Amino acid sequence: MSNQIDIKEFVEDALQVSRFAVLSTEGDGQPHASLIAITPAGDYRQMIFATYRGTRKYRNLVENSKVAVFIDGRDMVTSGPRESFVLTALGNAEEIENAEHNEALRAHLERHPDLESFLRSADCALFHVTVGAYQVVRGIDDVRWWSIDDPAAT
Domain CATH number, residue 89: 2.30.110.10
What pLDDT shows up at residue 1? Answer: 45
Check residue 71 and report its DSSP letter.
Answer: E
Mean pLDDT across the chain, nearest whole number? 88
Mean pLDDT of 114-130: 96
Residue 117: band (very low, low, confident or very high) from pLDDT cuts 50, 70, 90: very high
What pLDDT shows up at residue 150? Answer: 63
* Per-residue pLDDT at 82 exceeds 90: no
* Per-residue pLDDT at 19 exceeds 60: yes
- Cα 9-18-81 angle, rounded to 5 deg: 55
- Alpha-carbon distance 26 to 49, whole Å? 17
- Against a cut of 0.85, is the pTM above it? yes
What confidence tens digit (pLDDT) does each residue in 48-81 have?
A: 999 999 999 999 999 999 999 999 876 555 555 4
Total structural domains within the chain: 1
- Lowest average pLDDT, out of 36-40, 138-142, 150-154, goes to 150-154
**Phi-psi label, residue 28: left if phi above 0, alpha if psi -120 to 50, beta otherwise:** left
What pLDDT shows up at residue 107? Answer: 96
What pLDDT shows up at residue 80? Answer: 53
Kindly give, in sequence order, each residue whose CB lies less than 8 Å from that of residue 88, ignoring residues fewer than 6 positions away: 68, 69, 70, 71, 134, 135, 137
What pLDDT shows up at residue 152? Answer: 55
In which domain, by residue range, is 46 found? 4-153
